[in-house]
Chains A and B, each alone.
Chain A
Amino acid sequence: MAREKFQKVHSSAVPVHIENVDTDQIIPARFLKATTRDGFGENLFRDWRYDGNNQPIADFALNNPIYSGDILVSGKNFGCGSSREHAAWAITDFGFKVVVSSFFADIFKNNALNNGLLPVQVSDAFLAQIFEAIEADSKATFTVDLEAQTFTIDATGASASFEINTYKKECMLNGYDDIDYLLSLKDKIEEFEKKRA
């Protein structure tokens, strides 16, 4: 089934300056009881966003009104731990289109791509530049060009290229999903099964 095509993103960003952000932080297990894909954004980073009395924790970036935008920026090894796709759903449901880090966990990366959320991996040094740009100006904007595979800090013009395999890139740009492709291989899959039997 077709999904939204990924367009060029031009936006400010929200910094979660922490390393090894695991998927239990992104969406704690107690919120995984839903049977649909909607509504997880409400509990994105729940235990960092709210205290034990459900009061917002003021200094957490998602609660700080100076930060906004379609881009989430975080420290290395983002999305480690549990395979829960609910983490990708929570991030997209909250409104993010891009996650930037200097390193992503494998399963999270697949889950993100399968939900039209673009994981942009940059070097440690470039990630530091992004955090610096946001620190200097919380409204600093960035441009994410999937077609060109570049991430640009608009204020300085500094740009980094990022990797994505051609197949996944085409899927994102055209709004294709893997299941459509796999379904088109029906005969080939049956042939494979016969050959092995």
Chain B
Amino acid sequence: MAGKTLFDKIWDAHVVEQIEDGPSVVYIDQHLIHEVTSPQAFAGLDARGLKVLRTNRTVATPDHNVPTIDQDKPIRDDLSRFQVDKLTENCERHGVTLYGLNHPYQGIVHVVGPQLGITQPGMTIVCGDSHTSTHGAFGSVAFGIGTSEVEMVLATQCLMQSKAKRMRITVDGELGPGVGAKDIILYIIAQITASGGTGYFVEYAGSAFRNLSMEGRMTVCNMSIEMGARGGLIAPDETTFEYIRGREFAPKGAEFDAAVAKWRELYTDADAVFDAELHFDAADIEPMITYGTNPGMGVKVTGNVPNLSDIEESGRTSFSKSLEYMGLVPGELLLGKQVDYVFVGSCTNGRIEDLRAVAQFVKGKRKADNITAWIVPGSKQVEKQAQEEGLVAILEEAGFMLRQPGCSACLAMNEDKIPKGKYAVSTSNRNFEGRQGPGARTMLASPITAAAVAVSGKIVDPREFN
């Protein structure tokens, strides 16, 4: 019998029932909820007269629509305040742990889970948010769900899901200077397109991922959904165990050792078979940037926008529409293009290492006059750590505006919007039309590239500064 993939091992261990020619009933170890995709689910429970089945497996925090200034004051936007209050009320009524706006653990749900040691290898983790794939960095099966499914998990701790196919993406070799986790994932998506992973659960393997920190691995897994994949995961190793050790909700002492012994069994067997296998060479990856309106429309920062003739005929109308929205022309060189905003934050790149990388880059420099630069820490803990490490002082000195934790301009649900027609180089995950505000033009890049753009005022190769 052929061996099993890591994904199969975790999935199969969580199947409560398999429906013939239908989905599996999958048990969920950890459910994360936030204010935007949960109210209708709680309303559904109420309509059926049900309570949350396992409150010890559910954690809530508001992140999507919260303001990133004056968080100690009542939220000014009526609808946002109502939605956040609703989350508080629902959690209180059902006995669910909530890290509310002024709690020291509040933050973006995908920053909070790993940081508190809630996210652990071998788990099934879901959240009504597509970037739940982030948690796959720990060797867990984590994926985003809709609100009806949030209701299912609240009510039964289970979900009905068809099993995804398996894909392995191997990247071996050494990354060049100035190239990081974000560049790897933007490179992969540019190679396989924004739908290249649809129907699959992806395992990332190879030395390029092994050599990444946990935060780098989270950046990679986070964007699995941007190639359409159901989720992405990386087998846990010493880096994973050391990251988890000592965190608030991680097992302690002998229990931790016992957990690690179990986690060590979480790997893909040598003879396991994948439905698709892709290989890339780390040496081919350069700092990346997107030019279009889906994350697959990326090139190396020193590259040009593709020509119409490079695009498949059926996709040319959409390609042209996209460039028109972005105010770019086919074949255009991106270097030197003036930028208006730099946004550092989100569940992709709003962690302490991201803030450190930016601070290190801009130390002793100053942002260009034409740039408005926002830094939004991923959580209250990241914010506190950045203050303690002196990063906040460096960033403010360089002219960056430090805001309070939340999803912020990544999806512009709150007031943090990029104005119509303006260019923003963002460390977030989506460059869709209007994603950062109606008419906003987003170019996705790594924190280091974003820092270099902030200093230069235009698109620039961060390696020029070495």
Tell me the A residues contacting B by CB distance below 8 Å: 1, 17-20, 22, 24-25, 28-30, 32-37, 47, 52, 75-77, 80-86, 88, 103, 105-107, 110-111, 114-115, 124, 165-168, 177-179, 181-183, 185-186, 188-189, 192-193, 196
Contact = CB atoms under 8 A, between A and B. Distances in A.
Contacts of A36: 39-40, 43
A177 B294 CA distance: 33
B162 interface: yes
In order of increasing CB-CB distance, the 4 nearest A-B pairs are A167-B22, A85-B146, A33-B79, A35-B39
A81 B156 contact: no
Given A77-B194, A110-B146, A19 B315 contact: yes
A83 B147 CA distance: 9
B377 interface: no
Interface of B: 16-17, 19-23, 25, 27, 36-37, 39-40, 43-44, 47-48, 50, 64-65, 77, 79-80, 82-83, 86, 128-130, 144-149, 151-152, 155-158, 160-162, 164, 194-195, 198-199, 225, 228, 230, 294, 314-315, 317-318, 321, 411-413, 420, 430, 432-435, 438-439
Contact of A80 (B64, B80, B195): B195
A22 B412 contact: no
Contact of A115 (B80, B148, B164): B148
Contacts of B225: 81, 107
Contact of B23 (A33, A37, A165): A165
Contact of B130 (A82, A124, A179): A82
B86 A106 contact: no
A72 B82 CA distance: 33
A124 to B, nearest CB: 7
Contact of B198 (A86, A105, A124, A179): A105
A186 B147 CA distance: 21
- A36, A166, A189 interface centre (most CB from chain B within 10 Å): A189
B230 A106 contact: yes
B22 A166 contact: yes
Contact of A185 (B17, B317, B411): B17
A93 to B, nearest CB: 13
Scoring A36, A106, A182, A183 by chain B CB atoms within 10 A of each residue's CB, the highest score goes to A106
Given A103-B195, A182-B156, A22 B432 contact: yes
Given A20-B195, A24-B430, A188 B17 contact: yes
A114 B149 contact: yes
Contacts of A76: 195
B151 A179 contact: yes
A50 to B, nearest CB: 10
A169 to B, nearest CB: 9
Contact of B432 (A34, A75, A81): A81
Nearest to B296: A20
Contacts of A34: 79
A83 B438 contact: no
B21 A167 contact: yes
Contact of A178 (B21, B160, B228, B412): B160
Contacts of B16: 185, 188-189, 192
B321 A18 contact: yes
Nearest to B155: A179
A20 B194 contact: yes
Given A17-B317, A167-B19, 14 more contacts: A18-B321, A22-B430, A24-B435, A25-B433, A29-B412, A33-B77, A76-B195, A82-B430, A103-B195, A107-B230, A168-B22, A182-B152, A185-B158, A188-B16
Contacts of B82: 33, 35
Given A33-B413, A47-B438, A81 B430 contact: yes
A22 B44 CA distance: 26
Contacts of A1: 47-48
Contacts of A178: 148-149, 152, 160
B164 A106 contact: yes
Contacts of A114: 146, 148-149
B434 A35 contact: no
B109 to A, nearest CB: 12
Contacts of A185: 16-17, 25, 156, 158
B433 A20 contact: no
B22 A183 contact: no
Given A80-B294, A188-B16, A189-B156, A25 B43 contact: no
Contacts of B432: 22, 24-25, 81
A179 B146 contact: no
Chain B CB count within 10 A is highest, among A124, A179, A181, A188, for A179
19 contacts: A20-B294, A22-B294, A28-B438, A32-B64, A33-B80, A35-B43, A36-B39, A75-B318, A76-B195, A80-B294, A83-B129, A84-B37, A84-B146, A85-B147, A103-B198, A110-B146, A178-B160, A179-B148, A185-B158
A22 B36 CA distance: 18
B230 to A, nearest CB: 5
A37 B157 CA distance: 22
B146 A88 contact: yes
Q: Which of A24, A52, A88 has the most CB of B within 10 A?
A: A24
B228 A183 contact: no
A35 B83 contact: yes
A72 B25 CA distance: 31
Nearest to B412: A29
B156 A52 contact: no
A52 B438 contact: yes
B160 A182 contact: yes
